[in-house]
Chain A
Amino acid sequence: MSRGVDRQADRIEPLLSAAARLPTGATLQHGRLWRRFLRHRLAAASAGLLLLLAVMVLAAPLIEAWLGINANAVDLLNRFQPPSPAHPLGTDELGRDLLVRLLYGGRVSLGIGLVVALAVGVIGTAIGLVAGYFGGRFDALLMRLTDGVIALPLLPLLIVLAAIDFSKLGLPDAIAASDQASFYRMAILITLVGWTTVARLVRGATLSMREREFVRAAVALGAGPLRVMAMHVLPNVISPLVVATTLSVGNIILLESVLSFLGLGIQPPLPSWGNMLTNAQELIWAAPALAVWPGLMIFLTVIAFNFLGDGLQDALDPRAING
């Protein structure tokens, strides 16, 4: 590349991390406390909401038993029922209880969100640490790759990826076509495209850590690269890592839901918030309420994770408080 042209990634890095953070910039002394309180209240409320959701979702079988309903029981005579004591949110186009299905769908959507976030966090950290610490060819290759992934039209690619026939890759049919297969397939696919954000962030933080005195001292004292990375660099990149991972949960849930909505993600009868909306569009004239609930759950969960990540950013980054 010509002289004087910096890499695209270096230009946008600060902006990407700055955009993920809510408040910066100078403010007047008075009112700051109130404003911080307001923001942290949002983050706290989000944490509360997510906790409540997690408990309800985990208790889905209990709630199911308590209401005396089977989540997959089809009851065509009682389709499109309005909310009633027996069905708190009414029933869907097959007469199944909406509330219970929402809770089971939440298990899948939240499950994918957390499992993939964890995977993305671990893989992204490992790659980011190694790339940032050693630099050189591997680093250059990695940054080229992440540049490429960021710029691609991801959804059409994921659609093709989701349509892949795993038995063509030599996987036995029992695994490729099992009930739980769509869950793992989604988790793997989203991890495959999702690790880049965390890797970039960790790499950036590692780069700045590498030159710090305490790291050089550790190297001078004879610590190997693995020990330096694990004991000295990693603890110092934890806060951006936590924030990036939290913020990525929202995106993961959005991706899972859109793929499931398009019929390429989680396969019915296993409910997910996304595939519960697949039929909602045709039923929009008959039962608009069916289209509202699952989407609202996705929206609330995603925005809660985003607020939480934002609050964590504030809490973990002392500059954001003073700056």
Chain B
Amino acid sequence: MIRFILQRLAETALVLLVMSFVIYGLISLMPGDPIDLMIASDPSLTPEDAARLKAVYGLDRPLHERYLAWLGAALQGDFGYSRLYARPVLEVLWPRLGNTVLLMGASFTLALLLALPAGILAAARPHGLGDNLINLVAFAGISIPTFWLAILLIILFAVVLGVLPAGGTATVGIAPGSLAALADRATYLVLPVLTLTLVSAGTLIRYIRAAMIEALRQDHIRTARAKGVGPIRLLLHHALRNAMIPVVTILALDFGTLFSGALVAETIFAYLGMGKTIYDAVMGNDYNLALVGLLLATAVVLLANLLADLAYAWLDPRISYR
């Protein structure tokens, strides 16, 4: 088991290394470079100065040389400074990673709580009225654009009803740490979490339903039914356990999609998370921040993937990691 974990960790590190090069290359293709930005903000800079600066910072060197220099510094823990925030990028990113994990965790848990009973109910009587209704809802969830749902929710809860803030992370002026601050944080979380929950639940319902139907087709279910096991116990005890195995895998793969949804929700609700930070960094030509933000996001998603692989091994007794 330990050998398996180590092997998967090594694989993840390798993928991350490859991705770091790809992302570095992409970022270097973004318009302009740091010196161009300096020229734009400092009219007294002559073209000779700019060329000299580019040589000093190595911007005239080929891509692979620049990448290796960056990688060397990164491996020693130096990820550079953020241009927009004038602070080391990791210092900017850590609290925002926390915010995003909170948003994604809450939404994912709620979506699962919603989708599990719905998926099981739908699979219990395929083609039944309940199944058709649940499917309709699931299709709506899959087909609705995240940003539009977010806007609709703002119209309903902030414009029409006026009960929730339209965006932000916390109200200015409330002392942090108090109970009031906690309640305040929660009101800002409601709409982003609701948005992300509703769009993720649709896919989850479809996966759980499909896996349950597949599990209910197995021979041992027929045997159990023949032996007189009741329908509820059959569903929850005999079928659900088997259905969860593929579902866990697919949930982990969906973490990338969940992160994409979080980016949209964060941007619209001005919630200070990783997604909004990456988006702002790309729009504001903050190359270091965009690069490290994207890498961190990729690393988080890959780790979630790894965890799901371990959960899979734990759930399925047929698999041994010797």
- CB neighbors of A among B110-167 (8 A): 123, 126-127, 131-132, 135, 139-140, 142-148, 151-152, 154-155, 158-159, 166
Question: A284 and B321 in contact (CB under 8 A), knowing A8-B309, A153-B297?
Answer: no
What is the size, in residues, of chain B's interface with A at 8 Å between Cβ atoms? 80
- CB neighbors of B among A134-158 (8 A): 148, 150-157
Q: How far is the CB of A208 from chain B (nearest CB, A)?
A: 18
Q: In the bound complex, how far is the Cα of B278 from the Cα of A11, in angstroms?
A: 32
Q: Assess the A299–B143 pair: CB atoms within 8 A.
A: yes
- Does residue B59 face the partner (Cβ distance < 8 Å to A)? no
Q: How far is the CB of B111 from chain A (nearest CB, A)?
A: 15
Please give 17 more A-B residue pairs, beta carbons under 8 A apart, in addition to A12-B249, A159-B278, A159-B282: A2-B3, A4-B319, A4-B322, A18-B213, A20-B206, A26-B217, A153-B297, A154-B257, A155-B275, A156-B294, A159-B279, A160-B290, A250-B142, A254-B143, A277-B148, A291-B148, A302-B144
Q: Which residue of B lies closest to A155 (CB)?
A: B260
Q: Which residues of B have CB within 8 Å of A22?
A: 135
Q: CB within 8 A of B256: which of A25, A151, A295, A306?
A: A151
The digit string for A263-284, where 1 denotes a CB below 8 A from any CB of B, is 1000000000010010011001
Q: CB within 8 A of A151: which of B203, B211, B301?
A: B301
Q: Assess the B126–A27 pair: CB atoms within 8 A.
A: yes
Q: Which residues of B have CB within 8 Å of A2?
A: 3-4, 7, 321-322
Q: CB within 8 A of A280: which of B151, B166, B217, B250?
A: B151
Of the stretches B66-74, B182-190, B261-269, the one at the interface is B261-269
Q: Which residues of B have CB within 8 Å of A164?
A: 26, 29-30
Q: Assess the B322–A156 pair: CB atoms within 8 A.
A: no
Q: For chain A, which range describes its interface: under 10, 10 to 19, 20 to 34, or 35 or more residues?
A: 35 or more
- Does residue B97 face the partner (Cβ distance < 8 Å to A)? no
Interface of B, secondary structure class, is: helix
Q: How far is the CB of A213 from chain B (nearest CB, A)?
A: 27
- Does residue A55 face the partner (Cβ distance < 8 Å to B)? no
Q: Which residues of B have CB within 8 Å of A160?
A: 23, 26-27, 30, 282, 290, 294
Q: CB within 8 A of B321: which of A5, A157, A161, A281?
A: A5
- CB neighbors of B among A1-35 (8 A): 1-5, 8, 11-12, 14-16, 18-27, 31-32, 35
Q: CB within 8 A of B268: which of A31, A257, A281?
A: A281
